[in-house]
Structures are given as structure tokens and as C-alpha cells.
Structure 1
């Protein structure tokens, strides 16, 4: 297994946004968060969400 896969609802909760916000980001390609689409279902790898959060981390004074 490559890692933990999260359904879009779980992914939204994990990064602290609403499902709608995550859907808008995906549809408008606002942020380059990789996702998996199987039929009408959308999933995210937890490692990709962690990388996204790390990329959005602000470190003052560095």
C-alpha cells in the first residue's frame, strides 16, 4: 500500500477547509493538490495533503 487515501470529505476536514472549498480548488485548479478520480468519487493521498500544508507554512525570520 502506498499510503493513506482519504475521501474528499475526510481530506477537507484534514486540511481544515469545507468540502465545497476543496471542490472549488480542484475544479478551478487553484492549488496543485494531486487527487485520484474513480468514477464520480474523488480521493487524496494523505502525503499529498501534508505536502500542501507544508508548502503553505509561513516561517517568519527564515
Structure 2
């Protein structure tokens, strides 16, 4: 697990992402829609990094 904490600016940016349910300085909670999208795209062969980048992370 990463020890990175999010800055106030990063939290504001992440809050505006439609795939983020909630965010704190210590972590992100993703929406169910993002989780389903991630699983579907990953099964198609996309790398996790590609999926996150395409979804605005």
C-alpha cells in the first residue's frame, strides 16, 4: 500500500472525476460504474494504467 497522501488540490481534482465516489487525503473510493468498466476493459486486455489514464486519473 502506498504511503502517498493527496494534497488539497489533488483532492479537488479527483472529486470532480465522475468515477470517484469519495476521496480523502489517504485514499480514493471509486464508483461501482468505474469498477465494472475497469473489469470489462481489463478482461479485454487493457492494462490497468491505460484504463486509469483514459478515465481521467
Q: Counting strand residues as a fraction of each chain, which structure ranks higher? A: 1
Taking structure 2 as the reference length, the TM-score comes to: 0.32
TM-score of the two chains, using structure 1 as the length reference: 0.30
